[in-house]
């Protein structure tokens, strides 16, 4: 767990006036975007493999 997410988790348990002072400079957003990018990359890779598999099966059926 990074320091930023630790601060955010701690902030959730603090009183509202303390939470308002918390600013992560977009660090959390960057981490979430990186995670989404990895998921997207993995999904595209999976889709590509599925397409190749379908093409191979189709070619076998045609023979």
Instruction: Give 3-32 pLDDT, tens digit per residue.
Output: 555 555 555 555 555 555 555 677 778 888
User: Considering the chain, what percentage of its residues have pLDDT values greater than 90?
Assistant: 19
Give domain status of residue 53, yes or no.
yes
Give domain status of residue 63, yes or no.
yes
pLDDT for 39: 86
Structural domain of residue 41, as residue ranges?
Answer: 25-63
Q: What total of structural domains would you count in the chain?
A: 1
Give domain status of residue 51, yes or no.
yes
Give domain status of residue 8, yes or no.
no
Residues 40 and 23 sit within 8 Å (Cβ to Cβ): no
Per-residue pLDDT for 53 more than 60? yes
Per-residue pLDDT for 54 more than 60? yes
Give domain status of residue 31, yes or no.
yes
Per the model's pLDDT, the better-predicted residue between 44 and 11 turns out to be: 44
DSSP state of 31: H
What spatial distance separates the first Cα and last Cα of the chain, rounded to whole Å?
54
Give domain status of residue 14, yes or no.
no
Give domain status of residue 6, yes or no.
no
Give domain status of residue 7, yes or no.
no
DSSP state of 14: S
């Amino acid at each position: 767990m990074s320091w930023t997410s630790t601060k955010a988790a701690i902030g959730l348990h603090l009183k509202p006036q303390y939470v308002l002072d918390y600013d992560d400079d977009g660090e959390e957003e960057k981490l979430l975007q990186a995670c989404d990018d990895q998921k997207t990359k993995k999904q595209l890779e999976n889709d590509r493999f599925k397409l190749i598999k379908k093409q191979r099966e189709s070619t076998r059926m045609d023979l």
